[in-house]
Amino acid sequence: MKAGIKLVLLGAAILALAASALYLKRSDVYLLSLYAVYLMATFGLNLTVGYAGQMSLGQAAFFGIGAYVAAILLKLGWPFLLVLLVAAVVCFLVGLALGFPALRVQHHYLAFATLGFNVLVYLVMRNEEKITGGTYGISAIPRPTILGVDLNGHVAYYWFTLGSLVALGALLWWLLRSPWGRAFAALRDNPIRAESLGINITAYTLLAFAIGAACAGVGGVYFASLVEFIEPGPFHFSTSLMMLLAVIVGGQGRFFGPVVGTIVIILVPELLRSSSAPWLKFMQVWYLAVFGVGVVLLMVWLPGGLLSIPERFARKAGKP
Amino acid sequence: MGELVQLVVSGVATGAIYSLAALGFTLLWQASGTINFAQGEFVMLPAFAMLFCVLAGMPLWLGVLAACAAAMIVLGWGFKRLIVDPLIRHGVIPLVIATLGLSTFLKTTVRAGYSAEAHQFGSPFPGGVFRIAGINVSWADVGTLLVAGIIVIALQTFVTRTVTGRAMQAVAQNTEAARVLGIDVKRMVLYTFLINAVLAVVAALLITPTYLAKFDMGDSIGLKAFLAAIIGGFNQTRGALLGGVLIGVLENLVGFYVSPAYKEGVALMLFLGVILVRPEGLLGKVEERKV
């Protein structure tokens, strides 16, 4: 397919997603908004995992930091766009501070550091009641009005989130196509060669991780405004694990990998929860077990993720 | 002062349990390059296995033996055969992801298939405390230290004094050279997986009376095992012991003098501090990078 046709198809898909809000139930529109919000975080994580080749198990912590920053500042009456900027910068800086010691040594240390970090952030959210409201959380988080447009309605907020997601996606796309982004791919594919070509591996990896963290922070801001009430629960490290697996299941290092993977971790479980068919009831309880086995099998047979299926077939067909 | 000593003693006992889990983790890494993110669940499963045995009316010692046998088959041989062998060729990351998937599967299975509640688990040691030199020491702490100590010494003796143990060490240090010398590398790696399974059972036996048997009990133990292994030095067996004990003691001190709410964050802080100053871990050796 030519790039032009792909772009048209992508545009049509986005328009269809936007238009669907006019016909869907309120709860379904909410679900789509939730999907878009998580997608911001997994897009960011794909940068860290898929392009820089690092394992991060703390994406939900950054997502949570963004959400709490948003909840506190929005309630103080700060403008939404400024809050967005603050959340992104905070997550970026925290990402740098966490990634620096971990990445300096062995790259898989980042997985342990981020995992521990997520545990710590969760504790802070639960225990610092004066700031975070503890287990009661923060409620009545306002939705924004931007340039005089009131985004309080569920459809209006969905469109706003979808539009922002597309903007974030475009930004990341541009980033990955820049010379800077190409250095990423080089260091993932062959770090030692990249280093000998004069790419500072650690600096690039650290930046990739911090940018990924900032994306999660941005997602967290939209999340806080969407759900209007936050508590520590959604930012437990099990969410980080799900986000990481979403990136892998979709196909790490494929730009649209998270789009597929996030369906599996957000849309499917939520749809299961709201359905009432008896066999689906069974799946509600066992979904994560099936998912876990699925991940193991995927690693054995299709390490490239679901989006690598077409290539796999193409390669098989090409052989005599 | 007596308070401090008491906290250190019970911290060492808890830390000894982390050390056992960390030790298994380090052994797997040395022998086969496996990073097992399901290590915590490898402790959780035997806890439930022993619980079932006791509920079925078996005495605890028989339950422990049964759990050891089951763990060696399922978590040792089965894990190696079904997950590690097919994946190790593809590098570290696919295997890490697969163990993350495995951990999700095991937790959900226990929660959905049995129970989401925390279950009481009888201590293998007598209750109560005794006073010595003005401080209170619980029999459970003494028992824990004793069992963990015996296991570690037995393992150390096996590894340094027997032919098989030395062969295992050779594999851990240099797989290629070991193969050239005619050592059955595959078999040695399998032994490591079996030892890891037994260590997990012992850790479960010691920690479950205080942590209670719960589907997600492995989250915390697993994390501390990884961090302990790195703090002490990923490529050193003694490092895992030191790391585990350090975490156990510091957690107790922070929990008492600073805030019990942040006890769980101690391991991470220690980890970040150590890798900033000594990236290879407290007892670790610098590894050359292979091109």
Q: Is the pLDDT of residue A299 over 90?
A: no
Query: Average pLDDT of A278-286?
Result: 77
The model's confidence at residue A318, banded by pLDDT at 50, 70 and 90, is low
Residue type, B190: L
**Is A213 domain-assigned?**
yes
**Which chain B residues touch A257 with a CB distance below 8 Å?**
none
pLDDT at A107: 61
Contact A116, B268 (CB under 8 A): yes
**Which chain A residues touch B109 with a CB distance below 8 Å?**
289
**Is B72 domain-assigned?**
yes
- Tell me which range, A8-12, A144-148, A162-166, is most confidently predicted by mean pLDDT: A162-166
| CA dist., res. A292 & res. A298, Å (int) | 10
**Is B290 domain-assigned?**
no
CB contact under 8 A, A295 and B86: no
More confident: A316 or A133: A133
**Is B36 domain-assigned?**
yes
**Is B291 domain-assigned?**
no
Is B181 at the interface with chain A, CB within 8 A?
no
Query: Average pLDDT of A185-213?
Result: 80
The model's confidence at residue A1, banded by pLDDT at 50, 70 and 90, is low
Is B92 at the interface with chain A, CB within 8 A?
yes
Q: How far apart are the CA of A48 and the nearest CA of chain B, in angstroms?
A: 13
Closest residue to A288, CB basis, from B104, B234, B291 = B104
The helix/strand count (H/E) of chain A reads as 15, 2
**Which chain A residues touch B259 with a CB distance below 8 Å?**
127
**CA angle A103-A106-A111, nearest 5°?**
70
Is B291 at the interface with chain A, CB within 8 A?
yes
Domain count, chain B: 1
pLDDT at B287: 62
**Is B282 domain-assigned?**
no
Sign of CA dihedral A100, A89, A236, A162: negative
**Is A280 domain-assigned?**
no
CB contact under 8 A, A288 and B103: no
Backbone angles phi, psi at B235, to 5 degrees: -100, 15
**Is B244 domain-assigned?**
yes
Closest residue to A300, CB basis, from B86, B93, B279 = B86
CATH code, domain with B233: 1.10.3470
More confident: B261 or A106: B261
CB contact under 8 A, B104 and A291: yes
Q: What is the DSSP string of A250-308?
A: H-TT-TTHHHHHHIIIIIHHHHHHH---HHHHHHHHHHHHHHHHHHHHHHHH-TT-GGG
**Which chain A residues touch B81 with a CB distance below 8 Å?**
none
Q: Is the pLDDT of residue A264 over 90?
A: no
**Is A206 domain-assigned?**
yes
Which parts of chain B register pLDDT below 50?
289-291
pLDDT at A193: 77
Q: Which domain holds residue A105?
A: 24-237
Question: How does the average pLDDT of chain A come out, rounded?
Answer: 86
pLDDT at B290: 45
Q: Is the pLDDT of residue A187 over 50?
A: yes
Q: State how far the alpha carbon of B81 is from the alpha carbons of A131, B103, B131, in Å.
A: 49, 17, 50
Residue of A nearest to B259 (CA): A127
Percent of chain A with pLDDT strictly greater than 90: 35
Q: Is the pLDDT of residue A146 over 60?
A: yes
pLDDT at A52: 77
Q: Is the pLDDT of residue A215 over 90?
A: yes
| CA dist., res. B159 & res. B195, Å (int) | 11
Percent of chain A with pLDDT strictly greater than 70: 97
**Is B289 domain-assigned?**
no
More confident: A203 or B106: B106
- 10 Å CB burial of residue A202 (0-12, 13-18, 19+) is middle
Q: How far apart are the CA of B282 and the nearest CA of chain A, in angstroms?
A: 14
Domain count, chain A: 1
Alpha helices in A135-200, H assignment, sequence order: 154-177, 179-189, 191-196
Q: Is the pLDDT of residue A192 over 80?
A: no
- 10 Å CB burial of residue B2 (0-12, 13-18, 19+) is exposed
More confident: A282 or B201: B201
pLDDT at B291: 40
The model's confidence at residue A105, banded by pLDDT at 50, 70 and 90, is low
Which residues of chain A have a Cβ shorter than 8 Å from any chain B Cβ? 53, 55, 98, 101-102, 104-106, 108-109, 111-113, 115-117, 119-120, 123, 126-127, 192, 237, 241, 244-245, 248, 285-289, 291-296, 298-300, 303
For the record, the structure tokens of B58 come out as 């078996």
**Is A250 domain-assigned?**
no
Query: Average pLDDT of A117-143?
Result: 87
How many beta-carbon contacts under 8 Å exist across A and B?
119
**Is B181 domain-assigned?**
yes
Q: Which domain holds residue B247?
A: 2-277
